[in-house]
Structure 1
Amino acid sequence: MSHAAPVPGTSREPVGRPRTTVEIPRPPEVFDRRVHSIARIVLPIALGLLYGLWAAGIRRAGGAITGGNLLFGFVCAIVFAVLCIALLTIAPRLPRVRRALLWAVFTGIAFGFLYSQTGHSVLRAAGISIALAVAAFVFDYYRYYGHEQRGDLRSPG
């Protein structure tokens, strides 16, 4: 049997098969852009207030509520909300590995800070935080890899 060799300068695809692009189906939008833009600010603030309340409650350790305790809670809430808003702004521009790493670091540090307020050893807080950060990285990487908007899943990054 003999096969025809391709002529230099021509494509190696059969003539009868047209080139097509694969469209990734998108789920329907339930809310409009205005709701999403408001949620990008309101959700981190709500999570920050919850985080600050949790941090102040841990720091208080069942004692009386003091002005210093309230100040600590509000500062924790503001820092958490600002960092969360910054990550929501910066992260979508990054490749999936860096994005997952950024969220994993944020998760580990946020949990580690709360756990360190309980009075346990620093090594225990660091170990649990690192384990949680690794789990968050694996989860986020899998999520970003599976939901990537580009059709090219083989790209490095």
Structure 2
Amino acid sequence: MAHALPRSGRSAETGRDTTLDVFGPRTHLVAKWAVPVLAGLVYGYWAAANRRHGGPVTGWNLLFGFMTTIAFVVLYAVVRAVAERLPREGHAVLWGAFAGSALGFLYAQSGVAMFTAILTSLLLAAAVTAMLFYRYYTSEDAQGHRIT
């Protein structure tokens, strides 16, 4: 038996927001900071592992991993805060540049040629920018207001 899916957005009858929000405001606040911190920890570990090339873990390697984690989390928070205020084109370019830079830094730590790391990061940045521009373009009206 087929069932109709609930619609999200504004109700035509009442004009109120009918979007279903499963989690409360506290859960959203925790996730807003837990996701970048956990992603930063994974990123810092990955960068430190690439840098030591399979050798032993040293104090300098741990310091490098934690400093990379802090830099990643701070940059992620800055990009998230700034991107919200930009139009869809700038929003997509900023996240694409962040993703490309993050990959380029990780790839450069593995010891490959710099040209290879730059080319790979530019390709990822272009792909992320194109994907996000499409997403933002299809979820906004003509004036640039987000459609939820």
Tell me the TM-score normalised to structure 2 length: 0.82
Alignment-derived partner of residue 124 in structure 1: 116
Structure 1 gap segments, 5+ residues each: 1-19
Partner deviation per Cα, 1:69-92 (whole Å, 9 max, x = no partner): 000000000000111111222211
Residue 153 in structure 1 maps to residue 145 in structure 2: no
The percent identity for this pair of structures is: 44
Helix, strand or coil for the counterpart of 1:73?
helix
Structure 2 gap segments, 5+ residues each: 1-11
Contact 1:40 1:85 in 2 (8 A): no
> Larger Rg: 1 or 2?
1
Of 29, 32, 41, which aligns to 1:40?
32
Equivalent positions of 1:43-58 (< 5 A) are 43-58=35-50
Tell me the TM-score normalised to structure 1 length: 0.77
4+ residue segments displaced more than 3 Å? none
Contact 1:96 1:144 in 2 (8 A): yes
| Cα distance in structure 1, aligned partners of 2:78 and 2:42 | 18
| Cα distance in structure 1, aligned partners of 2:120 and 2:111 | 14
Query: How many aligned residue pairs are there?
Result: 130
RMSD: 1.7
Helix, strand or coil for the counterpart of 1:133?
helix
**Distance apart, 1:93 and its partner CA:** 1.4
| Cα distance in structure 1, aligned partners of 2:90 and 2:18 | 24
Equivalent positions of 1:8-157 (< 5 A) are 27-148=19-140, 152-153=141-142
Amino acid aligned to 1:82: V
Contact 1:40 1:88 in 2 (8 A): no
